[in-house]
Amino acid sequence: MENNLLVRNGVKKFILRFDFQKNPSFYDFSNIVNKCSHLFDRVEQINRTNFHLDVTKDNPNIEKKIFVDYKLILENKKLNVTFSGLDQAFWLETSSYKDNATYKDITNQILDFIFDNIIDVKFNRIGMRFINYFEAKDKAGIKKILNKNTSQNVLNMISNECISRALCQEEYNFEISKLRIIYGVINKFFPSTIKTYDISIDIDSYDDSPKIERNSYNSIDSLNHNAYNAFVNCINNKLLESLK
């Protein structure tokens, strides 16, 4: 695994998200936040308003409900965890991803708090997303970032002088998970036509099988491995060596 460590991995944002099966008891995460807040530097609360049309009554009406999002912040690691009552989910986000040690300890402790304090908790989806970004000065630079096949896909699309964004999407279905990879020229000046050729590689590795339970979150390691394989299969071999 040491050989797999990419010190200069180009990851601008990493997100690990857990979506709960819908259950009214999850609307309030304050108890879980109180139990794990000591792992972080501070906690911020954000109120979000949701409007719901209730058609179960004789006179349908719009109900207004306030939900609280809790953002737990760890300053030195540029990392935060958000619990959202409205989204029925929690997610870890960081701009300084190195390897699975970035999230593993904190995530495991939070999951233990959740499974110990919420009865019959299950997840609908566990997803891991890597957003990688590499600079390219010109079209030739694309070949130095992506391998022969992936770079040719992008070059074919940007041959049209009127194009303003050029992204390829591939999706894979593994035995217990799925993966989506989107790569190409995202164009920071969009919707203007492409003048810069920086490459974005956006990888979403996820498990959306039903009734994901406590003993299933070990699949996170599998999601990570699949994402890594997708990344190294996409980029130029010389670039890969320089990232180690």
The whole-model pTM stands at 0.88
Beta-sheet strands, E only, within 75-198: 79-84, 89-94, 123-134, 166-173, 178-185
User: Is a pLDDT exceeding 60 seen at residue 2?
Assistant: no
Structure confidence by residue, pLDDT tens digits, 176-235: 899 999 999 999 999 999 999 999 999 999 998 866 666 666 678 899 999 999 999 999
Domain map (residue ranges) of the chain: 1-10+129-244, 22-121
Amino acid sitting at position 29: F
Structure confidence by residue, pLDDT tens digits, 117-142: 876 788 889 999 999 999 999 999 99
Helix, coil or strand: residue 35: helix
Task: Express as a percent the part of the chain with pLDDT over 90.
Answer: 59
Helix, coil or strand: residue 13: strand
Amino acid sitting at position 94: T
The Cβ of residue 132 has, within 10 Å, a number of other Cβ atoms equal to 22
Length of the chain: 244
Copy the structure tokens of residue 27: 């609307």
pLDDT at 1: 41
**pLDDT range class, residue 162, cuts 50, 70, 90:** very high
